[in-house]
Structure 1
Amino acid sequence: MATSPLSLVLLSLFLSLSLHAQAQAPAAPAPAPSGPVNFTAVLVKGGQFVTFISLLNKTQTFNQIENQINSSSEGMTIFAPTDNAFSNLKSGALNGLSQQQQVQLLQYHMLPKFYSLSNLLLVSNPVPTQASGQEGVWGLNFTGQSNQVNVSTGLVEVQVNNALRQDFPLAVYPVDKVLLPEELFGVKPPSASPPAPATKGSSSGKSNSSDTAAEPSPGKNSAGGRNVALGLIFGLGFVSVGILS
């Protein structure tokens, strides 16, 4: 069946109108940029970090963390101790720390760089923490294989098997033990004891020996006395002979 000229005209007009409408349609909006990372929300969603959140608030560390997460090009990695981890500490372990030491303890759980679990197996130990640069090393050591990572402080070792969040710029890994740094919880070396004072006996002994060494020999003194006496006798004898003659 032959196509009529009118059909061809209508078809051409329809195609032209369709192309024009597509050209005039607005472009799809670009995806909105993601907002700042809310570290607090990550912990709250985890549901077992009440003590950790309380310490972060008490020491005013929360704001510092979120500012660094959202301004640093390196990101951050945080090991979050669970409530059970804190409850397993010795009684008074936290209360025995000053506010500055509590801040150092929290900073010891933070790496100033984003690490996935697989990246942690490639690091050079010890890895600096946010507490590094102060007195001591304040580093963490990582070993393991596959997706199982062991983190050690020298006093404590714990496995890291999963993540609360593992998207740049923030990685958060729950841990079942509080990471105790040797700089705060290690055995302190004993201080050097002062030298023992000299005894009276030894000092008196030294003075006696020196006194003895300083005294003249009695033998020499007695011989000298005899010589003088003999000289006087001979002298008197000669004087007497002179007078008699």
Structure 2
Amino acid sequence: MASSQSLLLLLSLSTLLLLLVAAEAATAPGPTPPPPLNLTDILVKGGQYATFLRLLNETQYGAQLQSQLNTSYDGFTVFAPSDNAFQKLKQGTLNNLNSQQQVQLIQYQVLPKYYTFATFQTASNPVPTQASGSDGVYTVNVTGAPTGQQVNVSTGVMETRINNALYSAFPLSVYAADDVLLPYALFGAKPPAAAASPPPAASAEKPKKGDQSAAEGPSTKENSGSYKGRVMGWGFVVGMVAMVGIVL
């Protein structure tokens, strides 16, 4: 009898303990979800990307890219130029670009695919950028180092080495860039302007016979006749003077 009561008490305690555990699990908060991915926060944390952040904001491409991060299946790779990288540009480079060209320059710093240092080695060149389209050559060539943790990026105008990841977790990789990637379509050598064809030379028309005669003045024959007339006139005068002398 005592044994049965002890067993019943044990079962009751076990049941109560299970109920308490279940209630605690039901009321306990779940794991905190990770904060939403934010490119601006990554660049601000990097501490030296004020110019790039300003251009992302002014061109409104930053908001567009942030929205695409939530829906992209391939992810994105950003080569973030530092403030020093922009200072290395020739004076007036940004001001000489119109608003559309500034957007294209910023888009050119972004690849429409998530790359790690390892996957750069298997990338097929040329690699498109977010600026790629029908307006010109906006691709890059990437060459991953065999040892990893480094990639060389060439644009056809310049080349830079990337070896520092600010952030890398799908769907976004952000790499620190010591140079602004300059697309060939905007900064490449321009073909020389075609020389203007000289106007056709005016053909020298030979004057007509009548025109030539008029241009040359009285004919030789007319000149000769006038001369003879003058000679005869003077001869007549001289003759008359001589006859008068004889008569006198």
Q: TM-score range by the shorter chain?
A: 0.7 to 0.9
Counterpart position of 1:236: none
The DSSP-based 3-state class of the residue aligned with 1:164 is: strand
**CA distance 1:72–1:144, change in 2 (3 Å):** closer
Q: Give the distance between the partners of 2:4 and 2:154, measured in 1 at CA.
A: 80
Counterpart position of 1:77: 77
Q: Give the distance between the partners of 2:101 and 2:50, measured in 1 at CA.
A: 20
Residue 14 of structure 1 deviates from its aligned partner by 2.7
Q: Give the distance between the partners of 2:3 and 2:116, measured in 1 at CA.
A: 64
Q: Give the distance between the partners of 1:162 and 1:22, measured in 2 at CA.
A: 52
Q: Give the distance between the partners of 2:78 and 2:112, measured in 1 at CA.
A: 9
Counterpart position of 2:88: 88
- Amino acid in the other structure paired with 1:56: L
Counterpart position of 2:165: 163
- Amino acid in the other structure paired with 2:174: V
- Contact kept, 8 Å, 2:108 with 2:181, in 1: the verdict is yes
Q: Give the distance between the partners of 1:153 and 1:19, measured in 2 at CA.
A: 70
Residue 148 of structure 1 deviates from its aligned partner by 1.3
The DSSP-based 3-state class of the residue aligned with 1:65 is: helix
Deviates more, 1:71-80 or 1:92-101: 71-80
Gaps of 5+ in 1: 209-245
- 2:185 is equivalent to residue 189 of structure 1: no
Q: Give the distance between the partners of 1:157 and 1:100, measured in 2 at CA.
A: 24
Q: Deviations over 1:110-159 (max 9, x none)?
A: 11121112111111011111100131120011013222111111111111
| Cα root mean square deviation, aligned | 2.3
Residue 76 of structure 1 deviates from its aligned partner by 1.1
Q: Give the distance between the partners of 1:112 and 1:105, measured in 2 at CA.
A: 15
- Contact kept, 8 Å, 1:77 with 1:171, in 2: the verdict is yes
Q: Give the distance between the partners of 1:16 and 1:121, measured in 2 at CA.
A: 64
Counterpart position of 1:65: 65
Structure 1 segment 209-228 matched on structure 2, within 5 A: none
**CA distance 1:194–1:57, change in 2 (3 Å):** same
Residue 60 of structure 1 deviates from its aligned partner by 1.5
- Amino acid in the other structure paired with 1:177: D
Residue 58 of structure 1 deviates from its aligned partner by 1.4
Q: How many residues align?
A: 201
The DSSP-based 3-state class of the residue aligned with 1:95 is: coil
- Contact kept, 8 Å, 1:36 with 1:70, in 2: the verdict is no
- Amino acid in the other structure paired with 1:147: Q
Counterpart position of 2:182: 180
The DSSP-based 3-state class of the residue aligned with 2:118 is: helix
TM-score w.r.t. length of structure 1:
0.74
Q: Deviations over 1:66-104 (max 9, x none)?
A: 001112222211110001100111011111101111000
Residue 8 of structure 1 deviates from its aligned partner by 8.2
- 2:48 is equivalent to residue 54 of structure 1: no
Counterpart position of 1:125: 125
Deviates more, 1:30-39 or 1:46-55: 30-39
- Contact kept, 8 Å, 2:118 with 2:144, in 1: the verdict is no
Residue 16 of structure 1 deviates from its aligned partner by 5.5
Counterpart position of 2:156: 154
Gaps of 5+ in 2: 207-248
Counterpart position of 2:238: none
- Contact kept, 8 Å, 1:81 with 1:176, in 2: the verdict is yes
Q: Give the distance between the partners of 1:163 and 1:7, measured in 2 at CA.
A: 69
Q: Deviations over 1:168-200 (max 9, x none)?
A: 111100100000001001111123233333334
**CA distance 1:197–1:54, change in 2 (3 Å):** same
